[in-house]
A and B are shown apart, each in its own frame.
Chain A
Amino acid sequence: MNGKKILSQFKKGLLTRNPVFVQLLGMCSALAVTTTVVNALGMGLSVTAVLICSNVIISLLRNIIPRQIRIASYIVIISGFVTVVEMLLEAFAPTISKSLGLFIPLIVVNCIILARAEAYASKHEVLPSAIDGLTMGVGYTVALVVLAFVRELFGSGTVLGFTVFGDWYKPASMLISPAGAFITLGCIIAVVQKFLMKKEDRDFKKEGSEGKLNG
């Protein structure tokens, strides 16, 4: 696991295989909690923490867990860490815990975590799995923050709770509503795809479609 490989994994998590913008995983949390940047950050970091821990443990146990009951085992491991995160949030960040509400326990069934467990951690060594958890988690967090930034900025006229525009700005409350979440996410995905498609075309010419198989 050299530096170059780690760097390429980060690139994958943040851009080319971004869990939200490219893989479209974890949609319900991404759409529901991104009304403010603070919520998005809290949610993103919680998922990252759970993702790293569960990836490490699943990778350690990958030769012991029987194939037939692997999903059930993953869920048990993941829910253990989610409970830890939930309790930590309640103790140290009660306001975030309150505003995220049900979405913290729901991390258990967040498809990003299950997908990484199934597609990566169950087939790789511990260190790469941990790094995969970190990069995917960071990608998820960045995506949520970008989405929440746009929605909060135009939907409430604030960023991180600070008023950005003056009194003249009448916030477009539609962006805070669920419909606004879909519209904003759609537009961001369109822009991301625009740049990625060009990149993918280049990569395809350079090294074939190998990159598409893992991820």
Chain B
Amino acid sequence: MRNDQNVSTRIVTPPLLTVSPSPHIKKGITTRGIMIDVVIALLPALVWSIYVFGFRSLSVVLVSVASCVIFEALFELIIRKPITVFDFSAVVSGVLLGFNMPVTVPLWIPIVGGAFAMIIVKGIFGGIGKNIVNPILAARVFLFSWTDIINNFTAPMSKISALSFSVDSADIVASATPLSSMKEGMLPDISLVDMVIGTKSGCIGEISGLLIAVGGIYLLARKVITWHIPVAYIGTVMLVTFLFPMAGDDAVQFMLYQTFSGGLILGAIFMATDYVTSPITETGKLIFGVGCGLLTVFIRYFGGYPEGVSFAILIMNLLVGYIDKFTKPKRFGGVTKDAK
């Protein structure tokens, strides 16, 4: 996320008159403060995943965090740039990267993913605030190289040893995710309550829509994110899936299953709202959210993969420059009412 070092760090009361360019009103917002808020918002979902998948989910997330932090520091050390790992942004990336993997992955997967996210996607483009796409999602897509590993979902409540480097395939209770069932044209055989609370198979952090939403509300209350992107994104998906249901008899039911399956809520609240890769203006954010929503549904309906959230957000990330350009507000006083 953005690191505005000049928008500064604490309230300064100068003894004498200071002459400086704007902004003149300063708040105690720091990158580190925002990132710690995001980590706090992610904790409920992490605790839930430990309950559902056992402590292995914690080890995957921790390895992923360590990988992101270490590779970012290493890269900055090698290219002789100031070390920025203490702003906690790499920690947030690490947690989210871990959240995007099934619990059965061998532990080299988060290591490779962290290296790709921090070096190729973030580091080479100039570090924090300069990456053009979301590093975590780009890394997730890169990890599709190993399709069988990254799509190896286990049933909820099947305990897997926490510390083993890779998981014995005998320990995995293979399980279809709700989305892959719906891809085949039928509703998943789990209740809607389980879908919402998150007793289902899927990636570590995406299963509990409810607890992710709790984290999202915390971020809203702390004003870390605004409502525009998540509401526009999830709203679009709900609207389109309600209008064009692909499975089951009840459109409302299908819509709810679609909304709470896959990484939609996690993506809409935590990844699409990344400051660096989302538009600045409110109109822009709404356009961005609607675009993400449409692409997600299109990929889920017509694409090769059952899930489209990562691809949708990545594609919209690339369009942010254009969205910002077209939604640039008019300068106050720059245009009169009856000017053409």
Contacts and interface: CB of A to CB of B under 8 A. Distances in A.
A183 B120 CA distance: 8
A8 interface: no
A170 B120 contact: no
A187 B120 contact: yes
B264 to A, nearest CB: 24
Interface in B134-174: 141-142, 144-146, 149
Interface in A182-215: 183, 186-187, 190
Nearest to B108: A170
A190 B120 CA distance: 11
Contacts of B120: 183, 187
Nearest to B142: A174
B318 interface: no
A14 B144 CA distance: 35
B124 interface: yes
Contacts of A171: 145
A170 B146 contact: yes
Contacts of B144: 174
B124 A187 contact: yes
A142 B335 CA distance: 56
A171 B26 CA distance: 50
Contact of B145 (A172, A186, A187, A190): A172
Contact of A173 (B112, B124, B141, B145): B145
Interface residues of A, number: 10
A170 B112 CA distance: 12
A190 B124 contact: yes
**Max count, chain A CB within 10 A of own CB: residue among B112, B124, B141, B149:** B124
Contacts of B141: 174
B163 to A, nearest CB: 20
A172 B141 CA distance: 12
Contacts of A183: 120
Nearest to A155: B145
B146 to A, nearest CB: 6
B140 to A, nearest CB: 11
A187 B116 CA distance: 12
A171 B112 CA distance: 12
A57 B305 CA distance: 52
A192 to B, nearest CB: 13
A173 B148 CA distance: 12
A190 B75 CA distance: 14
Contacts of A173: 145-146
Contacts of A172: 112, 142, 145-146
B124 A174 contact: no
Contacts of A190: 124
A102 to B, nearest CB: 25
A170 B143 CA distance: 11
A171 B142 CA distance: 12
A183 B149 CA distance: 22
Nearest to B124: A190
B314 to A, nearest CB: 11
B242 to A, nearest CB: 34
Contacts of B149: 170
A173 B141 CA distance: 12
Given A170-B146, A187-B124, A190-B124, 5 more contacts: A171-B145, A172-B142, A172-B146, A174-B142, A175-B145
19 contacts: A170-B146, A170-B149, A171-B145, A172-B112, A172-B142, A172-B145, A172-B146, A173-B145, A173-B146, A174-B141, A174-B142, A174-B144, A174-B145, A175-B145, A183-B120, A186-B124, A187-B120, A187-B124, A190-B124
Q: Report, nearest first, the 4 A-B pairs whose CB atoms are least far apart.
A: A174-B145, A172-B145, A173-B145, A174-B142
